[in-house]
Amino acid sequence: MDIPYGINKDIGIRDRMEDEHAIYIIPEKGFFSAEVYDGHGGVRAAAIAAEMVTPCFLHLWSEETLKEPYEQRQICEILRETCIKTDECIVKKGLACGTTLANFYIIHDRFFSVNVGDSRIAIGIEGSAELLTEDHKPDIPKERKRIEAAGGFVIRFGVYRVQGELAMSRALGDTHLKPYVIAEPFIVEGFLGRENDYVVVACDGIWDVLDEKEVLEIARKCNDAQKAAETIISTATKYGSTDNKTVIVLDLRGYIRGIGIRKMNIINRIDMAVDIR
């Protein structure tokens, strides 16, 4: 699969880098993934997720293909199970650290955006940009309601925090904050179109100071995925970001030439933490 990509990371002023990332390419399956994991409280949860999430998904997906077509689960269901299983693995290890997840999957002409936490994915659309993710913050009404219904609380300590600790309402890991901090992903499913040009996957160290239109504008001006990743990092630093920073830039321009439709088409937005009620 001819999808050029660039990756860049920066520790900021932190004493350690807690981000991880992953790229998986399986041409015979028409499969490509770009993944960013922003760890907190240590790197172990992010490292486990980077090694486990997509191999777990690929295994579960392969198992589904052995079933009769009418018995096969949708890919969104498998992605959800993957997040839950990875979280369970981290929790079984008793780790107090945790990680966000922002994964962009391409399967032929389809795409799946998956996020847990506040890392984001932006896609370029004919000179503009669109976020494919939803932040999971404890001050968002639906998140606060869920946390309080589970017996937890949200207070403001600099920013709003679950149990006065974590400034995110969803993450993989954070064993001591279960069941308030959950690993339920937000998933967007759609079809790529010829109007799409770049995708940017990044942790909050980027999004704290840059929005989706700004990062896509950088990618277009650079006209090279690796240069774009480096420029996004340097620009975020210039604008005051001191956090760990990780960014992946995908250049879809060559890939989408073989796609039959012009406009991107989003066909599903799933958040089972809300939808199952």
| AA letter at 266 | I
pTM of the predicted model as reported, rounded to 2 decimal places: 0.96
**Domain assignment present for 251:** yes
- As a whole number, the mean pLDDT across the chain is 96
**Domain assignment present for 147:** no
Task: Please count the structural domains in the chain.
Answer: 1
In angstroms, the CA 263 to CA 277 distance is 33
108-145 pLDDT, tens digit per residue, is 999 999 999 999 999 999 999 999 999 999 999 999 99
Say which CATH number the domain at 92 has.
Answer: 3.60.40.10
Backbone angles phi, psi at 113, to 5 degrees: -105, 125
**Domain assignment present for 143:** no
**Domain assignment present for 146:** no
Is residue 79 within 8 A of residue 60, CB to CB? The reply is no
Residue 277 has pLDDT above 60, yes or no: no
Residue 250 domain boundaries: 5-136+171-272
Residue 260's pLDDT is what?
A: 85
Residue 258's pLDDT is what?
A: 86
Q: Residues 224-241: what's their mean pLDDT?
A: 98
In angstroms, the CA 49 to CA 173 distance is 9
